Amino acid sequence: MNKRIGRFEIIRELGRGAQSVVYLARDPHLQRQVAIKTLHFSRPDPQQDRRLLEEARLVSQLRHPSIVPIFEAGDEQGDLYLVFQYVPGKNLAEYLQQSGALTPAKAIGIMQPILEAISHAHAAGIIHRDLKPSNILIDDDGVPRVMDFGIATRAEGVSNDGGQLVGTPAYMAPEYISQRTSSESSDVFSAGLVLYELLIGQRAVPGSDIQQVMRTIADEDIRLPPEASHTLDEKLAHLLYQALARDPQNRYASAAQMRQALDDYLQPESLTAPADARQSTIEFLLRRMRHKSDFPALSESVGAINRITASENQSIADVSNTILKDFSLTNKILRMVNSVHYRQAGGGTISTVSRAVVVLGLDAVRSIAITVMLFEHLQNKDNANQLKDEFLRANLAGVLAREISSKGATRGDLEQVFICSMFHNLGRLLSQYYFPEESAEIRRVVLQKECSEEAAALQVLGLSFEDLGIGIAETWGFPKLLVNSMHKLPAGSIRRPATAEDRLRMVASLSNELCTVIVDSAPEQQQKELQRIVTRFGDVIQLDEQELRRTVARSFEQVTQLAGTMHINLQQTRLGKQIRVWRGTATVGGPASEARTTKDEAENGLAGTVLSDIAPEAAACERIAEGGYISPVDAEAASEAILMAGIQDVSNALVSEFKVNDVLRIIVETIYRAKGFKRVILCIRDGRSNTMLGRFGFGPDAAEIARRFKFSLVFTPDIFHAALTNGVDILISDTNDPKITTRIPLWFRKAVTAQTFVVFPLCIKGSPLAMIYADREQAGEIVISEKELSLLRTLRNQAVLAVKQSI
């Protein structure tokens, strides 16, 4: 080791990296200790050296208590070196090795000055580009100091490093990995990775395989491990996820904004100065709910679907992709949309989420998806029977509302009525799930004090079910129209609603009051209670008692069918027993009465028979959805079943009025689901530029990957032109096979990491019009049987037909 670097006397080595060594040294001129970082590159590059020296001069002008300043820079025997203030202590990586995961308060306390430092640098036009724990020093007083802005870049415009990587792969932003672009937002992403490490005690993306680490960051959303739900609440998780959003547009706009979000988390306004007792109680209950392991997941999923459907740029692909991430959820939704109620609207069997959205609309599919998710979270609990009762009761309210409003209403109106009525009593459902003891106490208070349910809830919970439901609905991002419909109507006769919004609220209240009558009324009270409802709503709803009874009877049939679809034994629920009472086939109480079952009840699932309109050939799909074992033979059968159902789906669409994009989306989704591809992309020819352009797809980052599919149709001897020019389907089992590796174009290798893919060209009169691409990650993972290939080609031909009909 040299004794000197420039005029500086080396004392000892402090640490080293792949291209650098850090020394403790003494400045003989100013009689002080300094830290010197030497930079050694494998190939001499005078231009790079000049750039780094210019950046070092810029960074040396930064003055902030949380930034380790650069004193000077120079070169020694062709290697650059930077001279920093020496800060006694240890770096954050070493600190975390000793401490492990930190509490949220302590982690945020460290992040705040770090973000202040980054914000100060950004204001001066400087991006760090290598923010990581080893570049953050913790001094002897415990104060974090950011260092090593030596590879920073100017923030004027966007930097582009071409093919050269600058920084540490595990802390790079997705856009830098995929596009070699970095900006202030890239530092925000890196700050999110540092925060993750502070909270969890380990890197967000572990591993020694650099390429795999970078692929994970570029292609997958970073999420907290399941065990973190016990220590981190939902709000902090959302804060972290916003910093780690792969799309820079979805991150915090600046480091300063992220710092403010952390400040707000530690001292939220609602806790320091609550606006009223109701809001304070909602916050208290929300905190309790967050400790339940599945509330954050449920909240995040519901919120995501609500955000998509509320967006001005509503996208069928966005909704479908969100649902398709969960195979089990997908199958349960398709079961539900093919139930008796929805089948009529769909004009036949619906076998893809994309067609469900086209036929039923975004709002309806949102309702179904959230309903299924709620039900999934309500199962397997100690109070499961009570929860299923509440779930069925909510759905009965929606069905009643739809039946009452069906005369003269459009499909869209009926779906709004159903959704608003189903979620009208969301507070009671959530209370039963998250606070079962308090819910039991509420029922006891109602019986003992003969008071209303809302008054009892106010006494036990500190707020009514109505306020609880509205508070959670607002937290989940439900539309304002739906939230407003959750407000109860005042006592007495109901006046004619002045607006469509008032009518939704009125119908939601009517259906839920009728539900209460059905569930709580003894047989001798039925007539009196129905007459009361007719009197209360008679001025606005043209229903007499007899018509109301017929409406109730029709609704019972639909709820019975729903129970079978959701695999609920209706006879074991309180609602199921009350349905028998209203039908006059049993009396309340007594083992003998409960043992009697009519043929009608057996056919409708009331005797414990599970109804399912899943076709026998789809049984394998069900086993996959439920996590059961499936043999290769069954897997092939499942694939064929999905493909055949998709072909029927497309056929139904083609014989009706259709948009070509909707049909193509159904085809692409069918292929995606059938074969378990990682992603499926549809490309369309652009006639003006004579290029093939990716349009949309399914799978991780499908939209981003589709944008990378762009190549000229001027012939070159590669795989894609061979498929398109000759109109042949091509399966590449291994992109690294020496026999074909030269035929894989460079644009493709930059676009995806998949090692196996299949291409189905869409040609008209020998001219390529479009292309369906599907892939898997590892070589050899795509195996297509002769029957599957025939069905896939049928789907491809349907796509050609759809395009022909649209021209």
Q: Is residue 552 classed as helix, strand or coil in its secondary structure?
A: helix
| Spatial CA neighbour of 467 closest among 294, 277, 306, 293 | 277
Buried b (16+ CB within 10 A) or exposed e, 309-332: beeeeeebbbbbbbbbebeebbbb
- Supply φ then ψ for residue 783, to 5 degrees: -130, 120
Q: DSSP H helical segments within 325-425, as ranges? A: 327-337, 340-346, 353-360, 362-378, 384-405, 411-422
27, 49, 75, 130: which is the annotated catalytic residue? 130
How many other C-beta atoms can be found within 10 angstroms of the C-beta atom of residue 135? 22
Rounded Cα–Cα distance for residues 511 and 424 (Å): 9
Give yes or no for a contact between 387 and 432, defined as CB atoms under 8 angstroms apart: yes
Q: Which residues contact 562 (CB under 8 A, 6 or more apart)?
A: 336, 339, 341, 392, 395, 399
Provide, for the chain, the percentages of residues in helix, strand and coil under a 3-state DSSP scheme, each rounded to the nearest 5.
Answer: 55, 15, 30
What DSSP assignment string belongs to 417-455? HHHHHHTTTHHHHHHHHH-HHHHHHHHHHHHHH---HHH
Q: At what angle do helices 384-405 and 500-520 cross, to 10 degrees?
A: 130
Rounded Cα–Cα distance for residues 671 and 693 (Å): 19
Structure token pair of residue 136: 């953050």
| Spatial CA neighbour of 135 closest among 246, 242, 241, 37 | 37
- Give the CA distances from residue 758 to residues 454, 572, 677, 792, in Å, rounded to whole numbers and listed in that order: 59, 50, 10, 11
Instruction: Reply yes or no on whether 130 is catalytic.
Output: yes
For residue 505, which amino acid is it?
A: R
Rg (CA), the chain: 32
For residue 562, which amino acid is it?
A: L
Rounded Cα–Cα distance for residues 129 and 41 (Å): 18
Q: Which residues are tagged catalytic?
A: 130
